[in-house]
């Protein structure tokens, strides 16, 4: 493969990963534990952003053995219950803001955040800036263990979308599928209620035309069951539909665990079932185990699920390191520019 120019990476040097140590339901205990564990897997420097006293108390639990860990002070955190924009102004030294500034200033190559996704997005948009052609960042990636190479965009950041926005999401997802997941010429599809062009709501019908005119490998509409049929590599919907689907899947995984434990009790021990269900849970909760990039911002930010334990934190750091290594940002900007050159954006859409 050719080599890629990533402005924030320094070839041959360890990747500098900033982690919002205060973000997530189990911070800083689990964020620090997961981050320290990740040091074993990568040639990386760890920048733990948070309350110095709290973070150092957690760090004291581990034998760091001279590994590259730095604590970067911050003041306070932004909660899920806060309005992201208000909090951004009221708490300028909050951990997610300090962490994002490290990326902006070139002191870190990537930020991993397990805190409020809304706060991560707003902060990234304000501090790093949004790529030309987008109004706000978008989130996406594989969300089903049963279809680990199928990328769904958007997962919840843009609930009302014009066709041109969906096309931009498709372009970002296509780069991710190609470069991060290694899928050649990713098949892009619109999520709809039937495969024919005439099927779907107004948004999808208008988008169909636009997608057809684009340079993407558009294969048409897919339906809900097609997540399991390998019909497309990148499936595009607005964040309203995407968010409902991802939460539905999570809920179903948990509920199926309970259901199957009754069904399987005659055949297996509790211990054996535990193993099966833990696998099943991961299969329906992929984003919790690996996090996902914040697409469309001028810098690398990986968001993980707020409920992540140490394993989820390590998984998100793993995603972060690979994301930086691949240097996808330039390719993404280029894809968005291609759409713009073809005249497929604009207010009229």
Q: What residues make contact with its own copies under the rule CB under 8 A?
A: 146-147, 156, 159-160, 191-193, 200-202, 204, 223-229, 237-241, 243-252, 254-256, 259-260, 263-264, 267-268, 272, 276, 279-280, 283
Nearest CB to its own copies, comparing residues 27 and 241: 241
Contact 249, 279 (CB under 8 A): no
Q: Give φ, ψ of 162 to 5 degrees.
A: -85, 160
Between CA 301 and CA 112 the distance in angstroms is 6
CB of residue 339 to its own copies, shortest distance in Å: 24
Taking residue 195's Cβ as centre, other Cβ atoms within 10 Å add up to: 15
Tell me how far apart the terminal alpha carbons of the chain are, to the nearest angstrom.
Answer: 36
Q: How far is the CB of 135 from its own copies (least distance, A)?
A: 15
H or E segment to which residue 254 belongs: helix 239-264
Quick one: tokens of 226? Answer: 């097609």
Minimum distance from CB of 165 to its own copies (Å)? 13
Q: Which is nearer to its own copies, 126 or 268 (CB)?
A: 268
Minimum CB separation from its own copies for residue 132, in Å?
25
Residue entry with tokens 């972060």? 320
Which residue lies nearer to its own copies by CB, 87 or 108? 87
Nearest approach in angstroms of CB 301 to its own copies is 21
Q: Which is nearer to its own copies, 68 or 264 (CB)?
A: 264
Task: Kindly report the length of the chain.
Answer: 349
CA distances from 220 to 144, 165, 205, 227, 274 (A): 21, 17, 11, 14, 40
State the Cα–Cα distance between residues 252 and 340, nearest whole angstrom.
39
- Least Å distance, CB 337 to its own copies, is 29
- Min dist CB 231 to its own copies, Å, is 11
| 52 SS3 class | helix
Closer residue to its own copies in complex, CB, 28/115: 115
Smallest separation (angstroms) from its own copies to the CB of 23: 19
Q: Which residues contact 59 (CB under 8 A, 6 or more apart)?
A: 32, 36, 48, 69, 71
Rg, C-alpha atoms of the chain: 20
Q: What is the DSSP string of 263-316?
A: HHTTTS-HHHHHHHHHHHHHHH-HHHHH-EEEETBSS-EEE--TT--HHHHHHH
Closest CB to its own copies among residues 174, 249: 249
Token pair in block for residue 121: 């997005």
Pick 2 or 160: Cβ nearer its own copies? 160
User: Which residue's CB is nearer to its own copies, number 71 or number 294?
Assistant: 294
Min separation Cβ 334 and its own copies, Å: 30
Strand arrangement, sheet containing 234-236: 69-73, 44-50, 15-20, 110-113, 301-303, 292-295, 138-144, 147-153, 234-236, 188-191, 218-222
Instruction: Give the three-state DSSP class for 65.
Output: coil
Name which of 6 and 150 has its Cβ closer to its own copies: 150
């Amino acid at each position: 493969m050719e080599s890629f120019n990533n402005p924030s990476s320094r070839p041959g040097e360890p990747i500098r990963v900033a982690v919002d140590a205060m973000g997530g339901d189990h911070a800083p205990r689990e964020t620090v534990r997961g981050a320290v564990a990740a040091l074993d897997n990568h040639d990386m420097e760890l920048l733990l952003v948070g309350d110095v006293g709290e973070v150092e108390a957690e760090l004291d639990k581990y034998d760091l053995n001279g590994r590259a860990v730095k604590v970067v002070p911050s003041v306070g955190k932004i909660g899920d219950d806060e309005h992201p924009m208000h909090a951004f102004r009221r708490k300028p030294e909050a951990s997610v803001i300090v962490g994002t500034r490290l990326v902006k200033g070139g002191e870190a190559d990537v930020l991993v955040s397990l805190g409020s996704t809304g706060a991560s997005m707003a902060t990234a948009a304000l501090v790093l800036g949004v790529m030309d052609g987008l109004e706000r960042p978008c989130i996406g990636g594989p969300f089903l263990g049963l279809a680990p190479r199928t990328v769904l965009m958007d997962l919840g950041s843009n609930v009302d979308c014009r066709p041109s926005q969906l096309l931009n999401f498709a372009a970002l997802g296509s780069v991710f599928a190609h470069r991060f997941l290694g899928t050649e010429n990713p098949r892009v599809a619109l999520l709809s209620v039937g495969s024919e062009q005439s099927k779907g709501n107004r948004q999808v019908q208008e988008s169909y035309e636009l997608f057809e005119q684009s340079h993407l490998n558009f294969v048409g509409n897919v339906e809900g069951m097609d997540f399991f049929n390998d019909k497309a590599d990148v499936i595009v919907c607005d964040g309203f539909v995407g968010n409902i689907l991802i939460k539905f899947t999570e809920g179903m995984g948990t509920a199926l665990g309970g259901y199957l434990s009754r069904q399987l009790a005659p055949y297996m021990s509790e211990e054996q079932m535990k193993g099966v269900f833990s696998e099943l849970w991961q299969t329906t909760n992929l984003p919790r185990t690996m996090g996902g990039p914040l697409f469309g911002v001028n810098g690398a930010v990986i968001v993980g699920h707020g409920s992540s334990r140490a394993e989820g934190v390590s998984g998100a750091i793993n995603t972060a390191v690979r994301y930086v290594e691949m240097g996808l940002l330039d390719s993404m900007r280029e894809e968005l520019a291609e759409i713009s050159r073809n005249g497929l954006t604009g207010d009229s859409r």
